[in-house]
Every structure is written in C-alpha cells, then in structure tokens.
Amino acid sequence: MNLIDFLMVPLFQKAFLGAFLSGVGLSLLGVVILNLNLTTIRFALMHIALLGAAVGMVLGFSPLAGAMVGIVLASFLLGPVGDYLKMDTGVSGTLFMTGSLGLAFILFYKAGVPAMDAFALFTGNVLALQSSDLWAIGGLAAIIISVFIIFYREIQMTLYNPELAEALGVPVRKIRNGLLLLTGLAIGINIRMVGALLIDAAVLLPAVAALTVSRSLKAALFWSAFFGIFSQVGGLIASMILDLPSGASITMTAVLGVCLAGIFNRILKRV
C-alpha cells in the first residue's frame, strides 16, 4: 500500500485528521508548560492517569475513561490546591504525582487488578481514534486557539513576568489555573493518540522547537502549531511508509523538528 491507498481508508483518514487537529491546537500549550515551569505538572498528570485507570478497572469501566476522569479532576484541582496550600505549582505537582502513584499501587494490590492492563495506557494508538475522539480533539483545539486569540496580551504578560502582570492588575491566578486546566485536558486527549510516555512529543517538543526560532509570542505560537503538525502528521506518514509504531514515529519526527530548529537558529545567528 502506498500513501494514497492509506488515505482512502476511513481509519487512516481519521488518524490524519486527529493528528492535524492535535498538532495545530494542542501543541500551543507546550509554550505555556515551558514558560510557567509546569514540567512536573505533566508528570503528575501522567501518574494521575494511571490512578484513574486503576480506579476505572476496580469499578469495572474502561481504564482510559478512568484516566480521563482523573486528569480532568486533577486539572481543576492542581491550581486551587496549590494556592490553598500556598505551594508553588511545581511542588503541588510533585505532591499529586507521588500521591497518585502510591494510591494506584495500593489499589492494584488490594483489588487484585492486573497492573499491566493499566500500564497499556502508556502506549497510545492513533489508529484507534473514534469519531467522538475527533470531536473532542477538534473542540479542544478550537477552544485553545480562541483562548490564545482573545486573551493573547494577558497570557503574554502572565508568561513573561507574573509578578509584574499582577502589579498591572492582570488576574494572574485565574489565567494560570485556566491554562493549567486546558493543559490537563490536552494531555488527557493526547494520551489516546501517542500514549502517556510519549506525550512530551505531542505537547512539549513542538514548543521547544518553536521557542528556538521565535522572537515573539505570536511567532512562537505560530511555529508551535507548525512543528506540531509537522511532528504529528509527518510522524504518522513516516510510520505508514516505514512500517513503524505510530507513537514512536511521531516522537522521533518531533525530535527531528527540534534538531532542525536548532540548526536553523545557528545558521540564522551566523548570517
């Protein structure tokens, strides 16, 4: 089968559409994660996904549904709990991460749940996307893009210098918690596509590449979407042509994107 043949199959059409929507919308949040120092948060969300999967299996529904519910709840709670306990988001993320992992293992042990079934979450499958998944990915991408357009200046100030933004009257906490919620939802949705272990490729690496070549937030968001599409769609094409697992192929394409951005940046500096 060549690429055109693949594109005629509805399964692959859905996969391409999902990869495109994910690349264009969800990768924008990588810029937020990198600039608000939320890298521990994404680890926390991955472990909470595991806890959610364990709870789901104990209660008799699908581990993925449990993981999604866990992530959504955690996304709502991470910011406010950190504010209430007067903890830095990174510290509250560590608390959630370790706590949820401990609790997941207790559940596996006490309920006799096969832990490996829950760990299946850590490898995603873009070819298993349903129409409902596409609606979710597309809807969230539309929300993310709208939020960035409507609150561009406020997000810029919050990411640039939160203390200064607060002194100017920008509601920094509300914006940060809103972005945290979107980040959680983005991670939850991407887990289905690339798996929890390779989630960085979908969310973070496009932003790393974009920040390397950009001189403004607007440019960083544009390039983030570009590298997002490049890694997701390009990775999917590479996986079909070279017969590779889709998650790993998307990840390696994203790594290639970061390398290309780095080389481009060096050339630009010399000119």
Partner 1 sequence: MARELGIELHNLVAGYNHNQVLKGIDLKVKQGEAVGIAGLNGAGKTTLFKVMLGLIPVTEGRVSVLGRDLRTGIDRAWARREIGYVPQQTTPGKLPVSVHDAVLMGKWGKGYGFFRKPQHSDHEAVGATLKRVGLADLEWQDCRKLSGGEQQKVSLARALVRDAVILLLDEPTTYLDRNFQIEILELLKEIRNEGQLTLITISHDPAHLKAISDRIYQLDQGSLQVVNDESD
What is the binding site for partner 1 (CB under 8 A)?
Answer: 31, 34-35, 86, 150-151, 153-154, 156-157, 159-161, 163-170, 211, 214-217, 219-220
Nearer of residues 165 and 229 to partner 1, judged by Cβ = 165
Least distance from partner 1 to the Cβ atom of residue 93, Å: 18
Nearer of residues 59 and 150 to partner 1, judged by Cβ = 150
CA 209 to chain centre: 15
Contacts of 263 (CB under 8 A, 6+ apart): none
Q: To which residue do tokens 């919050």 refer?
A: 158
Q: Determine the straight-line distance between the first and last CA of the chain, rounded to whole angstroms.
A: 44
d(CA 183, CA 179): 6
Nearer of residues 33 and 55 to partner 1, judged by Cβ = 33
- Residues 53, 33, 136, 16: what is their CA dihedral angle, to the nearest 10 degrees? -100
Nearer of residues 144 and 172 to partner 1, judged by Cβ = 172
In this structure, how many other beta carbons lie within 10 angstroms of the beta carbon of residue 136? 19
Least distance from partner 1 to the Cβ atom of residue 76, Å: 23
Least distance from partner 1 to the Cβ atom of residue 6, Å: 38
Q: Is the dihedral of CA 149, 155, 160, 165 positive or negative?
A: positive
- Residue 26 per-residue DSSP state: I
Nearer of residues 149 and 242 to partner 1, judged by Cβ = 149
Least distance from partner 1 to the Cβ atom of residue 32, Å: 10
Contacts of 89 (CB under 8 A, 6+ apart): 36, 37, 38, 40, 41, 78, 79, 82, 176, 180
Nearer of residues 26 and 170 to partner 1, judged by Cβ = 170
d(CA 232, CA 106): 36
Least distance from partner 1 to the Cβ atom of residue 143, Å: 17
Q: To which residue do tokens 């990588």 refer?
A: 30
Q: Is the dihedral of CA 248, 254, 257, 262 positive or negative?
A: negative
Nearer of residues 215 and 270 to partner 1, judged by Cβ = 215
d(CA 156, CA 243): 41
Least distance from partner 1 to the Cβ atom of residue 220, Å: 6
Least distance from partner 1 to the Cβ atom of residue 227, Å: 15
